[in-house]
Amino acid sequence: MRHLLLCMGLASGVAVAAPEGTDWVSVRPEEFPGALNNPLKGFRGYHSGGYGLLHRQYIPWNAIEVSADDTVDRIISHTNRIAQREGKGFGELNVKLVPRVYLDWDGTLGTPERPKQHWPADMAEFDYDSPAFHQRLTALIAKLGQAWDQDPRVFAVQMGLIGYWGEHHNPAPTQAQRRLLVDAFKRAFKNKPILVRHTDAEFMDAGFGIYYDTFANVGREPHRAAEHPDIKGQFPWQATHVYPDIWKHAPIEGEVEYNWQKQRENADPEGTFGRTPDETMTVPAYRRYMIDKIRRYHATYLGWISGYNSADPAVLDGAGEVQKAFGYRFVIDWLRYPARLHAGEAVSVRMAVRNTGSAPFYLNWPVAVALLDPATREPVWSAPLTGIDIRDWLPGEDWDGEAFAYRTPAKQYAASGSATLPANLEQGEYILAVAILDREGGMVPSVRFAVTNYFTGGWHPFGVTGVGKAPAQTALPDVPFDSPAFDRTLHYRVPEELLSVQTPPVPDVGAIPRRQPDPDSELIDPWRYWCLVRRSNTVEKSVTYDGPVDGPAGPRVLSVQGDYGRGSNLGYTFFNAGTLPPGRYRFSCRTKGTPDQGIRFDVADGWQPFAARTEITLTPDWRRHEIEFQVDKTFRNGTRLRFSLPDDDAGEFHLTDTHLRRIE
């Protein structure tokens, strides 16, 4: 049985043909040494002259839904407005969107020019706990799925919706709300990854990813847990000790909080990643620290750090090193294809691929094969290969910071697929090429492999094949390759049916007026939530409507149950960072809970105790309390009514019928 050895140029490696009748060309391409400005990874901020093809967008709830009667067209038309940069649509720029819908920016009112509350007109502000809010939440998520689950511009969706900035604190979603959110998002989104802020068990069991807003800050790293036990509730500890496989199911992303670096004493900017994105890129030690965290936590992309200056060559070089670490990076070790094909029959491609990046590829995009015209380099025919799922190509695992390598290196994946040639394909010689296509964006080439064999336009050429006859040679003689680093010709298609959607008329709605506290009757908003600060993963807040008194918000009962940990508390803050002016006040409420367990009530200035420190002993039956306190000076940081739960204990605490009045 005769073997034929064919020599190819260095850029294409060596091709080996198998026995006659089953000729296969084997190509070992060189790895492209630089970074690739690939989609769905890297810096979360578009750079026309650098790395960055992602855009995270905060979306106010009332910008996409004015009332319950609003339609999904308002969401789509809003998406059309925000999915543009520099006068071009995201499809033309190859940019993908990551939206986050939110209600409350930071607990304040803002200004008419820049409002910070975004509740639809027919919803009571801060009414997170009511059945009516849960119904609206479920309905909105269904609309988001209709608008975004098939939209090629949207890569992933940040859950948002509850708490300041949509970050699930002030308040955090209750267990019932987390279950509601999981069910609603899984029904609405079959094609897009869902990301959440915190690693609550319900979200992790659902396979959701993470957006973490203090990524790589040393004050949140696991080794500081002895100093700050609450670190164990944060993503780095959870990803290291509790949920180490989060990244295998959905992206890890977030933001690098540079203000923390500048303002907090424990940030250690010189020992971590510096004070600005440009410093991170240009100082080798800072860059190494950041790459270490990206590798360790398998991060796909990050924001804030994306604010680097891509016009500075030194900064851009450093950004390239960081870009290589982010997300996926597919290296083809070898690729094999038949030297001779036949019209109307299947063409098979086999390859060995390693993912030398930090994370998987999370969307079901196909690898395609093409036959290119040797003269024009344009596809004469192309089709997806069946049998290859790039989501299975995982990176290495178990990062070793000292060795700066994964203890379990990236596996070499053997992948094979086939596609059927058209029966009328003309006989002749063609260049065989492969590409990864954007499935929802018109099945056009998008992702580049990290190999030097590349033609501008998205196709990777590997050699010559013949249709109906053997080629004179399989090597690519004197074929110059293009750099795959930046290919600004790449794009995707957005269906006209989406782009043509217009903003619908504003529906008629009876607006709910904002409640104003009355010092002569009631200072506590019955709709505003009481926020649980959790210092344990097992303590939970719940809301029921079986209280002993039917107040203006119904017989609502707030309950806290579980292992309290150390420092858990239930608190009420006034809207717009409100404070109580000097005077005398009476707070009243009803409580019950674990018998003889002590709960401490106080009035705080921000987080600092201020007045009315009172111990309440719980009983199994409802008991009414009246607490009078004096305010002699002005609060600095906003007034907080607070029930502190017993440290290092477990139990249950129930609260209802809360009132606050000024008395003279």
pLDDT tens-digit map of 85-100: 989 999 999 999 999 9
Distance of alpha carbon 557 from alpha carbon 572, whole angstroms? 14
458, 333: one domain: yes
Say which residues have a Cβ less than 8 Å from residue 375's Cβ, sequence separation at least 6. none
Q: How far apart are CA 121 and CA 509, in angstroms?
A: 7
416 pLDDT more than 50: yes
Do 578 and 638 have their domain in common?
yes
- In which band, very low, low, confident or very high, does the pLDDT at 20 lie, cut at 50, 70 and 90? very low
Residue 263, C-beta contacts closer than 8 angstroms, at least 6 positions apart = none
Instruction: Classify residue 264: in a domain, yes or no.
Output: no
Q: Give domain status of residue 416, yes or no.
A: yes
Q: Which domain holds residue 464?
A: 4-30+329-478
d(CA 246, CA 281): 27
Q: Which residues contact 396 (CB under 8 A, 6 or more apart)?
A: 356, 405, 406, 407, 408, 409, 410, 411
Q: Are 406 and 398 in contact (CB under 8 A)?
A: yes
SS3 568: coil
Give the domain CATH number at 359: 2.70.50
Number of Cβ within 10 Å of residue 605's Cβ equals: 19
Distance (Å, whole) CA 40 – CA 95: 8
> Taking all residues of the chain, what is their mean pLDDT, rounded to a whole number?
93
Give the pLDDT mean for 227-243.
92
> Do 656 and 570 form a contact (C-beta atoms < 8 A)?
no
- The torsion angles phi and psi of 656, rounded to 5 degrees, stand at -155, 170
How many structural domains comprise the chain?
3
Is residue 359 within 8 A of residue 300, CB to CB? The reply is yes
Cβ neighbours of residue 33 closer than 8 Å, sequence gap 6 or more:
none
Phi, psi of 576 (to 5 degrees): 60, 35
DSSP 190: S
- Collapsing DSSP to helix, strand or coil, 573 comes out as strand
| Residue 63 sits in the same domain as residue 193 | yes
* Band of residue 368 on the pLDDT scale cut at 50, 70, 90: very high
Does residue 63 sit in the same domain as residue 196? yes
What pLDDT shows up at residue 550? 65
Q: Identify whether 572 is part of a domain.
A: yes
Q: What is the dihedral of CA 30, 35, 37, 40, to 10 degrees?
A: 90
CA 59 – CA 100 distance, rounded (Å): 6
Same domain, 183 and 62: yes
Q: Residue 554: what pLDDT?
A: 65
Residues 605, 472 share a domain: no
Residue 310 lies in a domain: no
CA distance 200 to 172: 10
Task: Identify whether residues 348 and 403 lie together within a single domain.
Answer: yes
249 is a domain residue = no
Residue 557 shares a structural domain with residue 466: no
Q: Are residue 429 and residue 494 in the same domain, yes or no?
A: no
Judge whether 624 lies within some domain: yes
What average pLDDT does the segment 119-143 reach? 94
Q: Is residue 289 part of a domain?
A: no
Q: How confident is the model at residue 646 (pLDDT cuts 50, 70, 90)?
A: very high
Give the model confidence (pLDDT) of 582-638 as tens digits: 999 999 999 999 999 999 999 999 888 888 899 999 999 999 999 999 999 989 888
Q: What gap in Å lies between CA 450 and CA 29, rounded to an integer?
A: 10
Cα–Cα dist 53/446, whole Å:
12
Burial status of residue 497 (CB atoms within 10 A of its CB: 0-12, 13-18, 19 or more): exposed
> Which of 1-15, 23-37, 192-206, 464-478 shows the lowest mean pLDDT across its residues?
1-15
Report the distance separating Cα 193 and Cα 173, nearest Å.
Answer: 20
Here the tokens at position 164 are 């300041």
Which tens digits make up the pLDDT trace of 157-182?
999 999 999 999 999 999 999 999 99
Looking at the fold, whether 113 and 157 belong to one and the same domain comes out as: yes
Residue with tokens 């509790």: 242
Question: Would you state the pLDDT for residue 516?
Answer: 79
Rounded distance between C-alpha atoms, residue 492 and residue 154, angstroms: 12
The answer to whether residue 36 is domain-embedded is no
Q: What is the pLDDT averaged over residues 439-447?
A: 97
* CATH for 618: 2.60.120.260
Mean pLDDT of 256-269: 90
Which two tokens mark 122? Answer: 């027919």
Q: % helix / strand / coil in the chain, to the nearest 5? A: 20, 35, 45
86, 17: one domain: no
pLDDT at 513: 83
DSSP letter (8 states) at residue 320: H
Percent of the chain residues topping a pLDDT of 90: 83
Nearest to 644, CA basis, from 604, 592, 587, 595: 604
Cα(424)–Cα(218) distance, rounded to whole angstroms?
A: 63
The pLDDT tens digits of the residues spanning 511-522 come to 888 877 887 789
Task: Render pLDDT for 23-57 as a digit per residue (tens, 0 to 9).
Answer: 899 999 999 999 999 999 999 999 999 999 999 99
Same domain, 366 and 467: yes
pLDDT tens readout for residues 391-414: 999 999 999 999 999 999 999 999
Among 336, 331, 332, 366, which Cα is nearest to 432's?
336
pTM for the whole structure: 0.92
The answer to whether residues 155 and 446 touch, using CB atoms and an 8 Å cutoff, is no
Q: Is 377 helix (H, G, I), strand (E, B) or coil?
A: coil
